[in-house]
């Protein structure tokens, strides 16, 4: 397969991955499908998991991957970018995608390891992170998920979405890394699209 066609295939796969990252990060702002948790409570306690506000999926796995995907796609099509210079530039854009995917992956991993912010404890409970500093051990012990009283099913909600973000970011990282190698070969050998 020539480097131009390979770049086009990589870009086509990166588009939905970036979209999935953006959607997952936006959904994380609404645990229990409720907007009230996006703001602090009357005592000033934050009710969102901090890693949600770092916007790893929206900014890192989304925008910082979408921009390179557009350029990488252009290097695979007939036109101004389907040449050695375009492939050379795709190396830099793919590196930007690697950085964005790496950021998204790191934020998702920390979010999974520390668990969600929720109301827990006896009586009215307090807002905090009951699973923090447990090195993600709560993931294996699903019986402990009942510690979180509010928002309802917040542990399952966070685990599912952060896991999707982690997997998506890992795929983006691999694809952007592969495009860096593909871009190097395209820069040295051409894209196969120049002669079409």
| pLDDT tens-place string over residues 137-162 | 788 888 888 888 888 889 999 999 99
Structural domain contains residue 61? yes
Region 9-19 average pLDDT: 92
Structural domain contains residue 69? yes
- Partnered with residue 15 across adjacent β-strands are none
The band of 49, judged by pLDDT with boundaries at 50, 70 and 90, is: confident
Tokens at residue 115, please? 């668990």
Structural domain contains residue 126? yes
**Cα 27-100-1 angle, rounded to 5 deg:** 110
- Partnered with residue 148 across adjacent β-strands are 120
Structural domain contains residue 153? yes
Bridge-based pairing state of the strands 148-150 and 118-120: antiparallel
Distance CA 196, CA 192 (A): 8
Tokens at residue 4, please? 């131009």
Tokens at residue 85, please? 């210079």
Which range of residues forms the domain containing residue 26? 3-189
**122 phi and psi angles, rounded to 5 deg:** -70, 155
Structural domain contains residue 194? no
Q: How many domains are contained in the chain?
A: 1
């Amino acid at each position: 397969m020539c480097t131009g066609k390979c770049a086009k295939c990589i870009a086509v796969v990166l588009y939905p991955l970036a979209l999935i990252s953006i959607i997952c990060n936006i959904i994380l702002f609404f645990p229990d499908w409720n907007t009230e948790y996006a703001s602090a409570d009357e005592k000033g306690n934050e009710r969102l998991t901090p890693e949600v506000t770092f916007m790893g999926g929206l900014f890192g796995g989304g925008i910082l991957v979408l921009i390179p995907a557009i350029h990488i796609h252009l290097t695979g099509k007939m036109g101004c970018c389907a040449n050695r210079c375009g492939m050379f530039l795709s190396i830099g854009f793919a590196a930007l995608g690697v950085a964005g995917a790496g950021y998204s992956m790191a934020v998702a991993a920390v979010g999974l390891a520390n668990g969600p912010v929720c109301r827990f404890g006896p009586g009215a409970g307090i807002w905090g992170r009951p699973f923090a500093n447990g090195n993600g051990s709560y993931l294996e012990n699903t019986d402990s998920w009942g510690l979180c009283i509010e928002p309802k099913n917040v542990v399952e909600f966070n685990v599912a979405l952060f896991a999707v973000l982690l997997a998506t970011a890992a795929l983006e990282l691999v694809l952007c890394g592969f495009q860096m190698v593909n871009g190097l070969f395209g820069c040295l050998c051409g894209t196969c699209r120049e002669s079409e």
